[in-house]
């Protein structure tokens, strides 16, 4: 009898999960959750796919670290984590992670601290020397530090631009939320370690690209930025913490 009850509970859990994914507009593709280490012990991010009908590209339907798809631009359960550019999901991305002022000489620091960098630093990077390959830079692979689930990677700047241009609700945070990706105003973490979000009167959203900035801003990396007045791709300091939205290979 106990075995039968257990099986029924498992079946019910499966169908509830499927229903929740469908209600949020995606299709669950894995019984696993991600990442293996989590900032909130109550949940992990479900791997759910959503397709942009304009570009045909397949994305995860929520930010890494998010509990659900955004129900509003200011839905805190949809904000997710804040990654420094190029870093692995080692715990530094948690919004309440500790900090250290010691720069890393390797791609995977032996700790889970957010590495703070003074605004006077020439490179504004958590790593010295810099490494442009950690998230792939326009390659089909996600790079050695790809934080995304298997089969996913960071988007390129071109992919983010195509996504932005497909928005129909405006080239701003309204268009970002009304898009198939339901992008929230998740805020960011300054290179000094301060987390800035709606509560701190910083209504912005940023999504990292895998690209570095190139010759004009060689020390920076690219990201999509959006707020109430505009949306655009731009170079930003690699030591900042921004959201990650994964795209399928």
Residue pair 60/223 in contact by the 8 Å Cβ criterion: no
Q: How far apart are CA 172 and CA 174, in angstroms?
A: 5
Asked if residue 170 is part of any domain, the answer here is yes
pLDDT tens digits along 13-53: 444 444 354 334 455 544 455 565 567 766 678 899 999 99
Residue pair 31/49 in contact by the 8 Å Cβ criterion: no
Asked if residue 17 is part of any domain, the answer here is no
Alpha helices in the chain (DSSP H): 2-23, 157-165, 173-178
Q: Which residue has the higher pLDDT, 37 or 141?
A: 141
Write out 166-212 in H/E/C secondary structure: CCCCCCCHHHHHHCCCCCCCCCEECCCCCEECHHHCCCCEEEEEEEE
Residue pair 191/124 in contact by the 8 Å Cβ criterion: yes
Asked if residue 25 is part of any domain, the answer here is no
Asked if residue 7 is part of any domain, the answer here is no
DSSP assignment of 18-36: HHHHHHTT-EEEEEEEE-S
Average pLDDT over residues 203-216: 88
Asked if residue 90 is part of any domain, the answer here is yes
Residue pair 207/148 in contact by the 8 Å Cβ criterion: no
pLDDT tens digits along 155-186: 999 999 999 999 998 999 999 999 999 999 99
Asked if residue 71 is part of any domain, the answer here is yes
Asked if residue 8 is part of any domain, the answer here is no
The H or E element that residue 248 is part of is strand 247-248
Q: Report how many domains make up the chain.
A: 1
The pTM (predicted TM-score) of the whole model is 0.86
Asked if residue 23 is part of any domain, the answer here is no
CA 34 to chain centre: 12
Torsion, Cα 214 218 221 227, to 10 degrees, reads: -90
Cα separation values, 149 from 59, 64, 65, 134, 229, Å: 11, 9, 12, 15, 33
Other beta carbons within 10 Å of 191: 23
* Range of the structural domain that residue 169 is part of: 34-248
Q: Which residue has the higher pLDDT, 200 or 168?
A: 168
176: tokens are 């970002």
Vertex 128 angle, CA 122 and 132, to 5°: 95
């Amino acid at each position: 009898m106990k075995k039968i009850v257990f099986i029924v509970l498992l079946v019910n859990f499966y169908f509830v999960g499927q229903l929740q994914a469908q209600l949020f507009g995606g299709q669950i593709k894995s019984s696993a959750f991600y990442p293996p280490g989590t900032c909130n012990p109550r949940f992990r991010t479900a791997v759910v796919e959503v397709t942009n009908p304009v570009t045909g590209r397949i994305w995860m339907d929520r930010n890494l670290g998010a509990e659900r798809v955004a129900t509003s631009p200011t839905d805190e359960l949809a904000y997710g984590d804040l990654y420094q550019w190029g870093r692995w999901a080692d715990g530094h991305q948690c919004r309440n992670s500790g900090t250290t002022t010691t720069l890393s000489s390797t791609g995977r620091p032996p700790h889970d601290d957010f590495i703070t960098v003074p605004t006077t630093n020439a490179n504004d990077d958590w790593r010295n020397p810099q490494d442009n390959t950690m998230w792939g830079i326009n390659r089909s692979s996600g790079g050695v530090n790809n934080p995304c689930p298997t089969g996913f990677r960071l988007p390129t700047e071109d992919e983010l631009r195509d996504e932005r241009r497909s928005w129909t609700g405006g080239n701003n945070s309204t268009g970002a939320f009304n898009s198939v990706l339901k992008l929230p105003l998740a805020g960011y973490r300054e290179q000094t370690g301060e987390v800035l979000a709606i509560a701190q009167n910083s209504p912005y959203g940023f999504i990292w690209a895998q690209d570095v900035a190139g010759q004009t801003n060689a020390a920076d990396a690219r990201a999509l930025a959006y707020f109430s007045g505009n949306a655009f791709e731009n170079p930003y300091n690699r030591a900042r913490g921004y959201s990650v939205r994964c795209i399928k290979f």
